[in-house]
Amino acid sequence: PSRLLPKVVTTIVAAIAFMVLGTTGYGLVAQSNLAAAPTVTIVDPYTKSVTDLEYGPQVALASNSFFIDTRDAFIEEEMTFIEVDMTQEQVRYFRKGILLQSAEIFKVGDGDSWWNTPSGLYKVEKKEESVFSNIGQVNLPWQLTFQGNFMIHGWPSYPDGVLVDDDTTVGGIRLSDQSAEMLYKNAQIGTPVLVHAVEAEEVDDFVYAPQMPEVDIPHYFVADLDNNTILAASDLDAEAPIASLTKLMTAVVAAENIDLDSRVRVTSPTFVTSLIPRLAERSTVSMYSLMQLLLVESSNEAAETIAGELGRDKFIEAMNAKARQLGMMHTRFADPSGLSAENISSVGDLYRLTQYIAKERNFIFEITAKKKLPSAYVGGEFAGLVNFNEVKDMDSFIGGKVGETLAAGQTSISLHKIKFQGEERTLVVIILGSDGRTEDIEALLAQVRYRFDR
């Protein structure tokens, strides 16, 4: 791992040296042999660069792992120090690496006040048995002060002796009087204070976003396919079952691995059914005709027959490999038809698939729109195909795929030609988990028109 590792170096200097330097406080520490001024050295294991962690607030110590590494290094070096872990609501006192005291934190300074103590490495600068706070108008017993305004103390009381209640925020890090007195007597001027306080980030609910249509679906997406402008979207990465939208990837893998001019031997699978069964009486069928059944009538039989050409497991493996190749990191395929609830994707991933098909395999969308292809692949063997993909009473539809299972609800990827500001654009609408697919598509397109074509 690339995290930075703390290395602690301690140096105990003779009292005479401190006196020469004029640091009488350190002299007291050295004379009592209780604490030494620590130098926390951060060593990058790759660049070998060295950085000293100085006294004061340190963002790095808000990291739980870095804080623990630093504390453990202090203990290993047999240092005397105070640990303040606000995430665990504990103050601990170590003497020469041995834990002598552990106390509960009852209150900390308000986040908006100067008493609020951020993560950092400090040292005790002042010890006072009792301090009257003019700001808080309270007495603070057994106070240890570090970094000017930061402090550890006992239970505050008003001038008349009445203790403040539990919820009153005044002063710094509040301990019980008994614990504060014990810590006061243990700690010395210069004792290091290691503080860990993960700051709670306020959630700002304000969003600079256009008003979205009130559609009762968890997953939706609208974009201009011509210039990739996202016009409306829910969470792009939220995963959900996709039902027969799976067949679009089945078509992609088939088109890239099987000759569409070939004929395929039909072994009608007994473990799937189709709304319109067409393969039971056939021994062979053209690959192109299977693609028509797959994409127009959403035939599960056709999906399994196509997969059987490569071997079912190998075909599904190829589907998942193609998804990874396209960057569809929230997508998993369990079968070629979409019947399994384990066929999972997200609207963001399905847009990537849509982009790929539109650019590289657009004939797939042309088949979904029941268009005749002016190519060598023409050779459909089935008359009267019923197109399940068309959006009722919507002339803008030019291709796409629908799906529906109990687990997935109603799903859809649909392409539409719509005029905006006098120019015809291609929009893609993707929905997952819908209860009313047609109505939701209409609502999304209406909202997009309202926002962008006035």
Could you report the per-residue pLDDT of 38-50, keeping only the tens digit for each? 566 666 566 666 6
0.85 surpassed by pTM: no
Residue 397 tokens read as 């539809």
For the chain, give every domain's residue range.
Answer: 5-196, 219-452
Task: Give the C-alpha separation, 77 to 73, whole Å.
Answer: 6
Residue 12: pLDDT band (50, 70, 90) is very low
Q: Does residue 415 contact residue 427 with C-beta atoms inside 8 Å?
A: yes
Backbone angles phi, psi at 140, to 5 degrees: -115, 105
Q: Is the confidence at residue 181, as pLDDT, over 90?
A: yes
Share above pLDDT 90 across residues of the chain, in percent, rounded to a whole number: 46
Query: If we measure between CA atoms, which residue out of 349, 341, 346 comes closest to residue 405?
Result: 341
Confidence of residue 116 (pLDDT cuts 50, 70, 90): confident
DSSP bridge pairs for 6: 42
Residue, of 28 and 107, whose pLDDT is higher: 107
Quickly tell me which residue has 């657009």 as its tokens: 362
| Mean pLDDT comparison of 78-87, 212-221, 260-269, highest-scoring range | 78-87
Query: What residues pair up with 41 in beta bridges, in sequence order?
Result: 7, 52
What is the gyration radius of the CA atoms in the chain, in angstroms? Answer: 35
Helix (H) or strand (E) holding 165: none
Q: What does the pLDDT read at residue 20? A: 23
> In the prediction, which pLDDT does 31 show?
29
How far apart, in whole angstroms, are the C-alpha atoms of residue 360 and residue 356? 6
Mean local confidence (pLDDT), 144-172: 88
Residues 6+ apart with CB under 8 A from 412: 245, 400, 401, 402, 403, 429, 430, 431, 434, 437, 441
Greater confidence, 290 or 269? 290
Look over the chain and give the mean of its residue pLDDT values, rounded to a whole number: 81
Q: CA-CA-CA-CA torsion for 114, 115, 121, 126, nearest 10 degrees?
A: 110
Does CATH number 3.40.50.300 belong to domain 5-196?
no
DSSP character at residue 163: B
CATH number of this structure's domain 219-452, picked from the four choices 3.40.50.2020, 3.40.710.10, 3.90.1150.10, 3.40.50.980: 3.40.710.10
Q: Per-residue pLDDT for 420 more than 50?
A: yes
pLDDT digits (tens, 9 = 90+) for 308-324: 999 999 999 999 999 99
Q: What local confidence, expressed as pLDDT, does residue 105 receive?
A: 94
